[in-house]
Homo-oligomer: A and B are copies of this chain.
């Protein structure tokens, strides 16, 4: 039962998994409506009904792509929030994970951005159901930091987090447009926009933290400057 089933399941997952991979790439580039099932099948290297053998319909392929993205955060968020301790650490941990997740594969950001435009109703339900509790938890940390004088007093925690989330998604989704649009040197362009993105998120939350561009260098002395009064 074991060896054969593993082999069979590995084979099954092969087409199914690469269907999700190729579908994410194509949905990100051309959108759900702009991607034909035939395109996905060609990318995987099988026939169109072979894809429909693993997924009842094109709609199920979309859901599998979205689940692939969501499943990461169901695992990562609890781990991050429990692991990090200090307020600055927590910021670096969540923002870093957020940025790295979308930056490592910008197609994720593009798919989410498209989902926001194509099916706002579905995404709204998702936000209300799954994202809201975690957003509330992180907002609670900001609220606590505010009372200790770490953050701007007029920060609207939930609104801040949503805007930063949107900013990271959009910035990574449109990285190829924005960066190469104004830069000529392909080496520096990534760092430049990434650094400014982190700076905006940080500077609009922590008052007057100078030269905190590189988290590694500024990690030591950036936290003791404002003690709880």
Interface string of A91-115 (1 = CB under 8 A from B): 0000000000000000000100110
A50: Cβ under 8 A from any B Cβ:
no
A162 engages B182 (CB within 8 Å):
yes
A180 is an interface residue with CB less than 8 A from chain B: yes
B-side contacts of A203, CB under 8 Å: 152, 203-204, 207
Docked complex: A157-173 residues within 8 A CB-CB of B:
158-160, 162-164, 166-167, 169-171, 173
Asked if B170 and A128 make an inter-chain contact with CB atoms under 8 angstroms apart, the answer reads no
A127 within 8 A of B: yes
Q: CB of A124 within 8 A of chain B?
A: yes
Contact of A193 with B159 at beta-carbon distance under 8 Å, contacts A123-B177, A177-B120 already known: yes
Q: Is A148 an interface residue (CB 8 A)?
A: no
Interface size on A, residues (CB 8 A): 58
Is the Cβ of B135 less than 8 Å from the Cβ of A176?
A: no
A169 CB contacts on chain B under 8 angstroms: 170
A162–B174 alpha-carbon span in the complex (Å):
11
**Interface residue stretch chosen among A29-37, A51-59, A62-70:** A29-37
A118 touches B31 (CB 8 A): yes
Q: How far, in angstroms, from A158 to B154 measured CA to CA in the complex?
A: 27
Among A2-10, A77-85, A208-216, the one that faces the other chain is: A208-216
Question: A116-B174, A166-B167, A181-B132 known; A155 and B199 CB under 8 Å?
Answer: yes
The 8 A CB mask of A169-208 against B (1 = contact, 0 = none) is: 1110110111011100000000011011101110110011
In the assembled complex, how far is the CB of residue A123 from the closest CB belonging to chain B, in whole angstroms?
5
Tell me the bound Cα distance from A118 to B27 in angstroms.
10
Interface centre among A113, A178, A195 (most CB of B within 10 A): A178
A127 contact from B113, B158, B177, B192, Cβ within 8 A: B177
Residues of A at the B interface (CB closer than 8 Å) are 28, 30-31, 33-34, 110, 113-114, 116-118, 120, 123-124, 127-128, 131-132, 135, 152-156, 158-160, 162-164, 166-167, 169-171, 173-174, 176-178, 180-182, 192-193, 195-197, 199-201, 203-204, 207-208, 210-211, 213
Closest 7 CB pairs of A and B: A159-B196, A127-B181, A200-B204, A33-B34, A203-B204, A156-B196, A204-B204
